[in-house]
Structure formats: structure tokens, C-alpha cells
């Protein structure tokens, strides 16, 4: 049986009034972009393997193969990890106040649930409404504080939610130093952060259709 499969070449439909030279230049530009993407993928894959094997990858190397935004994400993530390890020593007063007010709201939430269990529906509703008001006020306060000092957001484990009547205590951000089970922050090493950044860069590159 004869194999009729032949190597196919990339073909571009000629644009109106496009010369042969212009068509060729456009084709070369496309091929160059594809090759560049392939080379970057290989470089990122090699970095991924090195990091997984526990090899040290210098920041300069990461800067070469990551975009500025991707590399900045590494720096931001490591800054947050350093804050986690600092405990309450460097915690800003605004975050301490936020934690104290959140604890107050949480106590009200617990009280409302206990009253409901005991059959005091009216009392539970009153306390729950107070809790909701406290939460909404707290959201406004922390948003204002972060607007005044954007670095405060680094001390929280998630973005500030929208203040509305359905917002619950569990949905509120926790300080990254919190020991609460509701805290979403995970301690990571510098190498783990680098690996996550490289993996994200590979995923973003594969999703790029251009």
C-alpha cells in the first residue's frame, strides 16, 4: 500500500494588492513568531523540571523567561510569605483593628446561631441583623484603609467582598497570620513560589492562540 501522505507547507491567502515580497515577509513573520513561542515553551519546561528536582533557579534566569507581570507575581507572593512569618511583629494597626472587629462580628454570628437552635427565632434574627451591619461597616472601613495604604491588602488572605445583606462572617478575609481554619493562606518556600509561577507561565503560553 502506497503512503500518499505528503509534507504540507504553510500557505497564506494573498491579500488584495499584496505583492509576492509582502506575502513572503508576512509568512516569515508568522513562522518566526511560532518558533519564538516554541523556544520559550522549551525554556519554561526546562525551568519547571529544574525546580521540581530541587535545583536552584536564579532570579535573573526567571526574569529572562517570564513576563514582567509574571515575575512581579513571584515578588508579591514572597513578600506575603515573609509577612506571614513575621507574625504580629510588623502587623499594621489597621489590620489589628480589622481582626478585632471581625472577632466581634463572629461572636455575634455564634450567638445568633445558638439562639436559633434554642428556638428563639426572633432573638436570633435581631442578633443576625446586628452581625450583618457590623460586617458591612467593617468592609467599608477596611476598603477605605486599603485605599489609603494599598500595602495593607498584602496582609489579607483574599480580596475584600462586596458589602451586602447576604455577606457572612465566613466570607470575610482573614489576616495572613491568623491561625483560624478559615484562613486560606498556605506557607510556601521560595522554590515553590517560583515553580507555581513557571507553571502558570506555561499554561498562559499554551492558552495564547495568537
Would you say residue 5 lies in a domain? Answer: no
Same domain for 119 and 142, yes or no, is yes
Residue 175: phi and psi, rounded to 5, are -65, 145
Give 92-138 pLDDT, tens digit per residue.
999 999 999 999 999 999 999 999 999 999 999 999 999 999 999 99
Would you say residue 143 lies in a domain? Answer: yes
Q: How many domains does the chain have?
A: 2
What's the number of CA atoms in the CB half-sphere (13 Å) around residue 144? Answer: 7
Same domain for 24 and 72, yes or no, is yes
Same domain for 76 and 144, yes or no, is no
- Cα–Cα distance between 36 and 205 in angstroms, integer? 11
Would you say residue 163 lies in a domain? Answer: yes
| Distances, alpha carbon 182 to alpha carbons 10, 49, 101, 178, in Å | 54, 33, 16, 9
Same domain for 103 and 167, yes or no, is yes
- Extract the C-alpha cell encoding 175: 489576616
| Distances, alpha carbon 183 to alpha carbons 139, 155, 156, in Å | 17, 11, 9
Mention every residue, 6+ apart, whose C-beta is less than 8 A from residue 111: 127
Would you say residue 176 lies in a domain? Answer: no
For residue 9, the model assigns a pLDDT of 54
Same domain for 74 and 133, yes or no, is no
For residue 207, the model assigns a pLDDT of 86
Structural domain boundaries enclosing 34: 20-86+190-207
Same domain for 73 and 141, yes or no, is no
Would you say residue 161 lies in a domain? Answer: yes
For residue 38, the model assigns a pLDDT of 84
Same domain for 61 and 116, yes or no, is no
Same domain for 103 and 136, yes or no, is yes
- Cα–Cα distance between 132 and 163 in angstroms, integer? 9
Same domain for 40 and 82, yes or no, is yes
Q: Is 156 helix (H, G, I), strand (E, B) or coil?
A: strand
Alpha helices in 90-189 (DSSP H): 93-117, 121-148
For residue 67, the model assigns a pLDDT of 93
Give the Cβ contact number of residue 84 at 10 Å. Answer: 20
For residue 5, the model assigns a pLDDT of 44
Same domain for 81 and 47, yes or no, is yes
Ranges of the chain whose pLDDT falls below 50? 1-8
- Cα–Cα distance between 130 and 141 in angstroms, integer? 17
Same domain for 60 and 116, yes or no, is no
Same domain for 78 and 98, yes or no, is no
Would you say residue 129 lies in a domain? Answer: yes
Q: What angle do CA 134, 139, 140 make, to 5 degrees?
A: 100
Residue with cell 462580628: 105
Would you say residue 199 lies in a domain? Answer: yes
Would you say residue 167 lies in a domain? Answer: yes
Amino acid at each position: 500500500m502506497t503512503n500518499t501522505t505528503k509534507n504540507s507547507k504553510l500557505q497564506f491567502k494573498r491579500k488584495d494588492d499584496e505583492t509576492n515580497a509582502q506575502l513572503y515577509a508576512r509568512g516569515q513573520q508568522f513562522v518566526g513568531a511560532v518558533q519564538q513561542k516554541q523556544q520559550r515553551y522549551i525554556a519554561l519546561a526546562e525551568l519547571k523540571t529544574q525546580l521540581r528536582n530541587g535545583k536552584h533557579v536564579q532570579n535573573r534566569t526567571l526574569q529572562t523567561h517570564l513576563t514582567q507581570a509574571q515575575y512581579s507575581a513571584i515578588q508579591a507572593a514572597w513578600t506575603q510569605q515573609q509577612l506571614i512569618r513575621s507574625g504580629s511583629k510588623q502587623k499594621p494597626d489597621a489590620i489589628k483593628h480589622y481582626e478585632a472587629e471581625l472577632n466581634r462580628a463572629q461572636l455575634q454570628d455564634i450567638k445568633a446561631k445558638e439562639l436559633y437552635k434554642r428556638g428563639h427565632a426572633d432573638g436570633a434574627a435581631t442578633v443576625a441583623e446586628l452581625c450583618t451591619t457590623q460586617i458591612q461597616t467593617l468592609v467599608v472601613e477596611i476598603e477605605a484603609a486599603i485605599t489609603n495604604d494599598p500595602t495593607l491588602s498584602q496582609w489579607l488572605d483574599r480580596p475584600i467582598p462586596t458589602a451586602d445583606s447576604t455577606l457572612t462572617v465566613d466570607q470575610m478575609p482573614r489576616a495572613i497570620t491568623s491561625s483560624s481554619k478559615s484562613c486560606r493562606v498556605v506557607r510556601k518556600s521560595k522554590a515553590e513560589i517560583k515553580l507555581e509561577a513557571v507553571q502558570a507561565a506555561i499554561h498562559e503560553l499554551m492558552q495564547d492562540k495568537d
